[in-house]
Amino acid sequence: MPFIDSHTHTFLRGPEDLEAMAIAGIEAVAVCAFLPVTLSGPSTLLDHFRWLDEVERARLAEQGLAMRLAVGVHPRCIPDTGLEIVLAKVEVLLASRAAVALGEVGLETGSEREREVLAAQLRLAKAAGVPAIVHTPRRNKAEALAAVIRLVEVEGLDPSRVVLDHLSPDLVAEADRVGAWSGLTVQPGKLTPESLSQLLFERGPDRLIVNSDLSHAPSDPLTVARVARFLWRAGHPAESIERVTHRHAAEVLRLHEAVADGS
């Protein structure tokens, strides 16, 4: 069974992890923009986007991994100055389809500044006709999710093109209510395979997408493959497993095109 990891920051990992992903059957990844630093200006993000589009794309291809790029300003990466320059570059990358999704964007503290930046980026996603990968924080997740959903509604973005990521099982119903996708991150401090399995037994696989959020933080490059094995051993049907570890990600992020064209 092939897999897709719909939310990664592979640029923060070494080639041995990328090779392991390919060996485990992960055929494609979505790489989301994010830097674990406090930014003072726009140039760092501009260089980051260029690295992702040029260097990271080639680095993944060398390991046999198809890539789709998501660009945006993470709430922890909002620069003190020059935000308009960064957003202009995001707009260009989305319009040219060098990036096929907006991400990772969202709310962390829920400040007015974060909400303004998220709203501006949702408008860019709507104009470009691309999906959005939206971060929700570890703390005050329910409040942040409610604020995100309000902004999606206000900006008129089709919720069926929105992945509400890092959701806890109790918040999946909110994503269901508005017709958005639930991104389910399995890693320390977020979901466990056991909690994911229970959720899948309770409500089925509709609109669920499993990801690793692979980064510099504790995370496993083989998360999606390991989750699939865990679900199979727990007795879930192969069709359900395939949907949450491959098909849904391919549909919402058009990653099947990446596999087909080898990019």
Per-residue pLDDT, averaged over 188-216, amounts to 97
Q: Average per-residue pLDDT in the chain?
A: 95
Output the six-digit token pair for 228.
């699939």
| Residue pLDDT, tens place only, 118-164 | 999 999 999 999 999 999 999 999 999 999 999 999 999 999 999 99
Residue 248 and residue 78: Cα distance in Å, rounded? Answer: 30
Asked if 66 contacts 28 with a C-beta cutoff of 8 angstroms, the reply is yes
CB atoms under 10 Å from CB of 231, counted, come to 23
| Residue pLDDT, tens place only, 76-103 | 999 999 999 999 999 999 999 999 999 9
Residue 177, classified by CB atoms within 10 Å of its CB into exposed (0-12), middle (13-18) or buried (19+), is exposed
Asked if 6 contacts 214 with a C-beta cutoff of 8 angstroms, the reply is no
| Residue pLDDT, tens place only, 203-261 | 999 999 999 999 999 999 999 999 999 999 999 999 999 999 999 999 998 754 544 44
Q: Any idea which fold 3-217+228-261 has?
A: TIM Barrel (3.20.20)
Domain spans in the chain, listed from the N-terminal domain onward: 3-217+228-261
CB atoms under 10 Å from CB of 140, counted, come to 15
* Dihedral sign for Cα atoms in the order 263, 180, 144, 240: negative
